[in-house]
Structure 1
Amino acid sequence: MYQQSIGIVTERISTATSLLLAYHGRNLKWLFIRGNAVIIKTDWKQGPGWTDEFYSWLKIHSRSYELVEKEVSQILGYKWKFLTDKEFKMLKINLHDY
């Protein structure tokens, strides 16, 4: 049976972390991140195994919410955006369906 994955971020994170979550979680069916909890910041040093090109991509695209939303949409293959507080509070996830 195929398992669909959901990512829900409730903690304060950076735009760079948002990009890394999408990049490494390409198999996610849904990714929910509350926009007001996201700080515009590249708070990662270049990781082992990261090419200069990848790290440059991370630094450039973590400079704004709009750039992150565009990149995450491209990675996940559907129109994606950060959720407002109201949208986040309205999430109803039945984990038994996944």
Structure 2
Amino acid sequence: MKKIFSQFLVIMGALMFTLAVYQANQYMQVSAALGPSLAQLNQLGTLGAEAAGMDAAQLESTKQLLSGTTNALLQSVLLDFVLGIIFLMAGYFTYSHKD
């Protein structure tokens, strides 16, 4: 039973690594898609925002929303990678190395 549990932990670790790689791909794609929009918002400034029909608070909240999206994805990548390490190490240390 202990051997099955340790194998389960190793498989969970491998799945968490796979999920971290997938989310890293999503982070790169979202960053590439949102990069030009965020650059335009940074260049727009307060006067340009008012000309576009936005006030400064809306401009700042839009910037924070766009950067918050990429930050959340990056945190998910790091969390899944760390959980993968924890599961993998737990599976290794719970495995009975006796024959």
- Which TM bucket (shorter chain)? under 0.3
> Counting helix residues as a fraction of each chain, which structure ranks higher?
2
- Higher RCO, 1 or 2 (CA under 8 Å, sep at least 6)? 2
- TM-score normalized by structure 1? 0.24
- TM-score normalized by structure 2? 0.24
> Counting strand residues as a fraction of each chain, which structure ranks higher?
1
